[in-house]
Amino acid sequence: MVRDRVDAILDQFLASQETLWSDADRRPVFDAVRHFVLDGGKRLRPTFLYWAWRGAAGDQSADDQAVLTVGAALELFHCFALIHDDIIDRSSRRRGTASLHESFAARHTQHGWRGDSARFGRNIALLCGDLCASWSDVLVRQSGAPPDRSRAVQDLFALARAEAIAGECLDVIAQASGDRESRGALARALRVTRLKTARYSIVRPMQIGAAMADAGQPLLSDYAAAGEPLGDAYQLRDDVLGVFGDPARTGKSAIDDLRQGKVTVLIAVAFARADRRQQRALRELFGRADLDATGAASIREIIVACGALDTIEQRIERQLAAALESFATMPIDDQAKDALAALARRAVRRAE
């Protein structure tokens, strides 16, 4: 229900922006962004926002259009984050198809245009991401949130965006530093997880939902207490799927992160737990631009053999359990409580 209605809001909003992009040069850009926004996506953030609002509001008959519109705005910002993340990580695929920068690079090559096709693809994709971020602001302002609540909503929305960007910056710095084996590498990877994903994917959407219901600080704190461990678990699952997932289900490559030397919590734990022979192999293979399927399989074998995968799976379950315990004791509507718990399990135990 939430997903369908959010999609309808996004579709209607994009239609309202179409006029500016009607000429032959700009139309392909608009069409690519429209397809990226509407085709795929779990709509996790607006769903957490909606049920957190329901938990606080309680009244099923209350008008929820403004709530879902703010949720749609979160999805637009999420699209910005994905597009830019794919450029930064040089990811080749997203949602089962070529990432946006790869798609525009191929278009450049197809037309035989001047200059470097990869640079062209990155430049246009950057602008597409910026457009999604700009549109997210417009949609929040157009949401129809009650005036006495819109300031709190906008402040939390701005905080979510700032935290996500700060987390991305920290991620870029972590990769540039080359630090994979120190205790600091694990601590930094955990900070990236909390800023880049946990806050803007789980905590802030729930708090925005609470703000839409004019809830007080105690409930915002309760949502943070559940959202922090749940967000950690959600990102840890994403890290596992980035290495062990089936690309046919995840829609993403299972080798890109290994080629790029992306130091996730999973990788940091693997370096910490590996014996000397395994560490030598990891140093040789991890982060190689020419890493092939055989090399990737060797890295996966080490991650399993040294116990890193089990360690992460156990952490995921502990963090999920902590979140579920928090939800169970919250003073919110029972139906919303059950929905949030079910959503938490689905988000963490997914295979895509």
| Residue 6 neighbours by CB under 8 Å, 6+ apart | 43, 46, 68, 71, 72, 75
What CA–CA distances, in Å, run from 317 to 320, 336, 345? 5, 22, 10
Global pTM reads 0.93
What is the pLDDT at residue 160? 94
At 309, which amino acid appears?
A: L
Q: How far apart are CA 308 and CA 243, in angstroms?
A: 12
CA distance 97 to 220: 38
pLDDT at residue 46 tops 70: yes
Q: What is the pLDDT of residues 147-157, one digit of tens each?
A: 888 889 999 99
What total number of domains does the chain contain? 1
Q: CA torsion, points 258, 260, 261, 266, in degrees to nearest 10?
A: -50
Closest CA to 124 of 93, 173, 86, 72: 86
- Residue ranges making up the domain that contains 303: 2-348
Instruction: Look at residue 61 in the predicted model and tell me its pLDDT.
Output: 58
* Structure confidence at residue 190 (pLDDT): 87
CATH code, 65:
1.10.600.10
Give tens-digit pLDDT for 127-172: 999 999 999 999 999 998 888 888 899 999 999 999 999 999 988 8
Q: Choose among 138, 142, 145, 139: nearest CA to 209.
A: 145
CB neighbour list of residue 341: distance below 8 Å, 6 or more residues apart: 324, 327, 328
